[in-house]
Amino acid sequence: MSISICIPTYNRLEYLKKCLSSILDGIGNYPYELIIADGGSTDGTIEYLENLGNDNLTLIKQGKLVGASRAWNACFKKAKNEYVFWPCDDYIINPNVILNCCKIMDKYPEIGLASPKFIEATLSNFPNIGSWQYLIVLSKTHVFRNSVLKEIGFFDDNFKTYYIDVDSHIAVLNLGYTTLFTREVGIIHNRFFDEIRKKNIQNKTVAKSELDYYKQKWKKLDDRLIASYPKRFKAKVAWSIHDRLRQFGLMQKFMKNNHPFAIKMLDWFLQKSVIFEAKEFRHLKDFYLAQRIPPENKKST
């Protein structure tokens, strides 16, 4: 087993240092490589990385901002190891969770990606997780099997800023692979609002165009899944309760304090919202959710 850790960065040296420290302090003797694509930083990032003295580090000097998807793809193309993980430079990472993803994929070749639980520290430690039409539960970041990442053609370059996370997850499921979600938190996101992120958020035209492309790209799959499972009442109810719990003040307080009951409750409602569950993976103690969409011309079981 070995892992390639791919990180684009731009003028976030202090955040990048914390991210790398969380990785290197916990990865131990596990074989790894770091591939970092820099978009033309002027804050000392390049000098810091060049002087880091890490023989496992490959630095890609892009010299300018090319968009998140293209930056990660530049890293992916150089990734030589069996598994590929793609954190942002403002993540704090629990390497044990990431390596558990690799270990479980070693055991089960039908798993295309495993998703470490991803929490937003600025949102009371709630997991950042979503759904597609109440049909598919989608994650924020993944550990890919490198062969599967190549099979989907890396990230879709039509997405400059948004949707690369959920699009790539759907792409893996669309090939027939199983995807997993960890019980334990693997990523803490202390969201950093720099000028670039603020501009991305404010650019409604880009957001809408990428959403429209995303919807059109997966329309055929969406139509097929709705046809195979037209009654989604149970999933809709579970998602509705899950979303209401996130707005409840007492639940927010519990989540901020990492109360185990609140965490288990949210996980339980997410499990109830899964339509295409891969039931044979229910026994995995470190993972709380597994899904696999049915192949074309076959009904969901």
d(CA 50, CA 60): 11
Q: Are 17 and 91 in contact (CB under 8 A)?
A: no
Closest Cα partner for 157 from 88, 216, 73, 219? 73
Tell me, what's the pLDDT at 200? 53
Confidence (pTM): 0.89
- Show the low-confidence residues of the chain (pLDDT under 50): 298-301
* Fold held by 3-232+275-291: Spore Coat Polysaccharide Biosynthesis Protein SpsA; Chain A (3.90.550)
Q: Where are the domains of the chain?
A: 3-232+275-291, 233-274
Q: Are 143 and 106 in contact (CB under 8 A)?
A: no
